[in-house]
Amino acid sequence: MSQEGVGAPLPRKEDDRLMRGRGQYVGDIRLPGMQDVAFVRSPLAHARIRAIHVPEAYRDRVFTAADLDGVLPIRAVSGLPGFKVSEQPVLATDKVRQVGELVAMCVAPTRAEAEDIAAAVVLDLEELPAVHDMLAAREPGSALVHEHWGDNVFLETLVDVNIAAALDAPIRVSRTISTGRQCMAPIEGRGTVVQLDHRLDQIVVHTASQMPHIVRNGLSECLQIEQGRIRIVSPDVGGGFGYKAILLAEDVALCWLALRCGHPVRWLEDRREHLTANANCREHHYRITAYAERDGTLRGIDCEATVDSGAYSAYPFSACLEAAQVASILPGPYDFPAYRCRTWSVATNKCPILPYRGVARTGVCFALELVLDAVAREAGIAPEIVREKNLVRPGQMPFENITRKHFDSGDYPEALARALKAIDVAAVRARQERGEADGRRIGLGLSIYCEQAAHGTSVYSGWGIPMVPGHEQASARLTPDGGLELRIGAHSHGQGLETTLAQVAHEILGVPVARTRLVHGDTAMTPYSTGSWGSRVMVMAGGAVAAACEELRDRAVRIGAHLLQAKVEACRFEGGHVVGPNGDVPLATIARTWYRRPQDLAPDTDPGGLEVTAGYKPQRDSGTFSYAAHAAVVAVDPDLGAVEILDYAIVEDGGTLVNPLVVDGQIYGGLAQGIGTALFEEMRFDARGQPLASTFADYLLPGPAEVPMARIDHMETPSPYTRFGQKGIGEGGAIAPPAALANAINDALRTLGVEMLHSPVTPHRIVEAVLAAKARSAPARARQAA
């Protein structure tokens, strides 16, 4: 390994800019003549629009659906059989279907003035019953979000692999488990600035996006404008987490407005819009039954899973990806012989559900890991035993599981064993036995997951959504002074790609990381890509950068051989030099020769030069499987419900780590979000579909005091299918913590007869459950005494 290549723990190049406050975000863009937009949003979750009254003075500053000639609604259709299509109007037409839905667009020199205009617009709405509960929404007689469907179900799916064979198992444990609705809450919200470039006849859209090329597809379809007339620029992005992998109606509306007004226009999402109108994720409901032998060996899992998909199918991931994925990934890292899972993606009068770091995996892990602990209690064995009995074993690799997921490599039992050692189970059990002086109760919780990442064409063509990843491409260009420029169509917004892709290039070409620049986030300058999602970029763009650099290297060797007056076959590339039998020539000289002294090149030199675009797919595109075992120790105050995380250990396997520091950062960040899911974050709605939090005073995020310094241990089992053996790991940190922490809390409160099955596990919910358990046991004690 070289000092800067694959595996080197380099600090991130981009941090010099980002940590000094010199990042350049959409909100930093100032353009001459730019005006601000504020939207009139629906105050009701479900209503018919009778009229929109615009004061005469603002007629030319307010636009409604009636003005939007030629703009089509957003349609994110899935090809799965039975999927019902929703059409999300850019500005509401006859009905509004969620609080915060766009009704009118107001433009003014400043945001404050635009909000004044918005406040003067009066909506005449006829309120309809709101569909706010996904289970009730499935019942006959429910109000309908999309009347012409006849029900509220986007999609129902069923997988049944011989569940009948499990039904006679001696242990049968059923639970109802659910996860709260969340908001992703990146530091930077959404934002879009649109200007017209008359020279190139283009609409230039500066927008905080994880996937600029996909945004261009969507805008082109909605605006009915050819793609060549649209350029997407995604500058520095302050956290994405999936929220910025979505085409918003706001983006479409602003493009139309710029074309209409001629001057640049800007919309910057504020936190209230973020929380109440746009960013929703995670809400799952499970009725799950585990069948097992008395020794903990699983015989089967049977599950009914419902996902609250909200009012519309979001572009490009659709309303069904979350629930349909539940069915395919619920078995997690376990091997068992029988399985049934029925899923529903349900339409409600809430914001569309969007993919959030971990996507369906976090809910699935929560449901399965909690039910495994219930099996352990029922069988009277330790939770780690149940897991040891059922984990996929290294000898089975590569392993095809019960839903035909193809596990590429790994040693899951080893990860569990290391996590148990790191957390020191015996010491925790001894402390539990002793009890705490302050009356708190200690609990130990485990959680294991696998994360399919960088899954490609064969997987996504099956979902049939508007976006199917194919070959990933990257460009590599040597500059005349020997520097290197890399271009990728994916985006870096916290992943550290400016550093890690330079490391990949260094591994091949030996160019110092400091001399390598990553150009990304601009459809005018980068190859097409579906973008940054699904923990795919290090595998896909990493592979593509390597492929481009390898081709560049081969071309350089041919030029270098000529300069060395040697045969190509007699030369090799080493440490940034072409080395021949009688000397060597550095890459910078080769670059200078190609660009500045072409007279020195061979007459038959390759005219392709020192700029290469190459494509890449792993040998199998079914995805890499990274995984981790999390172990948590908590202290729970049963009287106040306060939970303190005393210790947290993570053993993860991301295959070959391109940069272990960056991987650690991804895990810490994911853990913080996982703690939010576990203990704090919840967007609740009332029966009228009103969101009950509009600021961070009501929507609680964990802060520095709530996130412990976790201990991370890396295993490195390379993937046999990827360029360096690397696996996608970007989301994993957020997947396991809710289950590990809930299991730890349940372990702590076990002797009180308390079992928490809904996330977030808030103090109020804990106290409520403790008091209820006491009330249940009091009559029993009274009977015993009598």
Partner 1 sequence: MKPAPFAWERPASLPALLDRLATAPGSVKLMAGGQSLGPMLNLRLVEPDLVLDITGVPELRQARLEAGTLVLGACVTHADIEDGRVPDNTGGALRRVASAIAYRPVRNRGTVGGSLAHADPAADWVSALTALGAAVEIAGRDGLRTLPLEAFVTGALDVALRPGEILVAVRVPARPAGAAWGYVKHCAKIGEFAHAIGAVLIEPGTGRGRAVIGAVEGPPLLFADASPLFGGRIGPDFAERFDPGAADAALHAAGMADAVARHVHVTVLARAVAQAAEPSPQSLPEAA
Site of interaction with partner 1 (CB under 8 A): 110-112, 115-116, 119, 270-272, 637, 639-642, 680, 694-695, 697, 700, 702-703, 705-706, 762-764, 767-768, 771
Among residues 115 and 378, whose Cβ is nearest to partner 1? 115
Nearest approach in angstroms of CB 318 to partner 1 is 31
Among residues 525 and 700, whose Cβ is nearest to partner 1? 700
Among residues 24 and 110, whose Cβ is nearest to partner 1? 110
Among residues 96 and 770, whose Cβ is nearest to partner 1? 770
Among residues 424 and 768, whose Cβ is nearest to partner 1? 768
Nearest approach in angstroms of CB 58 to partner 1 is 15
The gap between the terminal CA atoms of the chain, to the nearest Å, is 75
Nearest approach in angstroms of CB 27 to partner 1 is 14
Q: Which long-range contacts (CB under 8 A, 24 or more apart) does 575-579 make?
A: 575/2, 575/510, 576/509, 576/510, 576/511, 577/510
Nearest approach in angstroms of CB 760 to partner 1 is 9
Nearest approach in angstroms of CB 699 to partner 1 is 11
Nearest approach in angstroms of CB 679 to partner 1 is 8
Nearest to 181, CA basis, from 134, 247, 128: 134
Among residues 231 and 440, whose Cβ is nearest to partner 1? 440
The per-type count for the chain, helices as H runs and strands as E runs, is 18, 29
**Could you write out the DSSP letters of every residue in 694-751?**
-STTTS----GGGS---EEEEE----TTSSSSB---TTGGGTSHHHHHHHHHHHHTGG
Place of tokens 């309809």: 128
Nearest approach in angstroms of CB 782 to partner 1 is 19
Nearest approach in angstroms of CB 470 to partner 1 is 41
Nearest approach in angstroms of CB 78 to partner 1 is 35
Distance CA 219, CA 264 (A): 17
Q: Is the separation of the CB atoms in 225 and 196 below 8 Å?
A: no
Nearest approach in angstroms of CB 494 to partner 1 is 23
Nearest to 534, CA basis, from 447, 616, 460: 460
Among residues 58 and 595, whose Cβ is nearest to partner 1? 58
Q: What CA dihedral angle connects 517, 522, 527 and 529, to 10 degrees?
A: 110
Distance CA 389, CA 253 (A): 55
Q: Is the separation of the CB atoms in 247 and 214 below 8 Å?
A: yes
Q: Is the separation of the CB atoms in 232 and 193 below 8 Å?
A: no
Q: Is the separation of the CB atoms in 588 and 556 below 8 Å?
A: no
Among residues 11 and 703, whose Cβ is nearest to partner 1? 703
Among residues 382 and 642, whose Cβ is nearest to partner 1? 642
Among residues 249 and 675, whose Cβ is nearest to partner 1? 675
Q: Rounded to 5 degrees, what are φ and ψ at 260?
A: -70, -45
Q: Rounded to 5 degrees, what are φ and ψ at 309?
A: -85, -5
Q: Is the separation of the CB atoms in 216 and 469 below 8 Å?
A: no
Q: Which long-range contacts (CB under 8 A, 24 or more apart) does 588-593 make?
A: 588/481, 588/482, 589/482, 589/563, 590/478, 590/556, 590/559, 590/560, 590/563, 591/478, 591/479, 591/480, 591/481, 591/482, 592/480, 592/481, 592/482, 593/559, 593/563
Among residues 106 and 547, whose Cβ is nearest to partner 1? 106
Nearest approach in angstroms of CB 239 to partner 1 is 19
Please name the residues in contact with 609: beta carbons below 8 A apart, sequence gap of 6 or more.
Answer: 555, 594
Nearest approach in angstroms of CB 643 to partner 1 is 10
Q: Rounded to 5 degrees, what are φ and ψ at 278?
A: -130, -45
Among residues 212 and 641, whose Cβ is nearest to partner 1? 641
Entry field: residues in the chain: 786
Distances (CA, A) of 117 to 96, 539, 552: 20, 48, 56
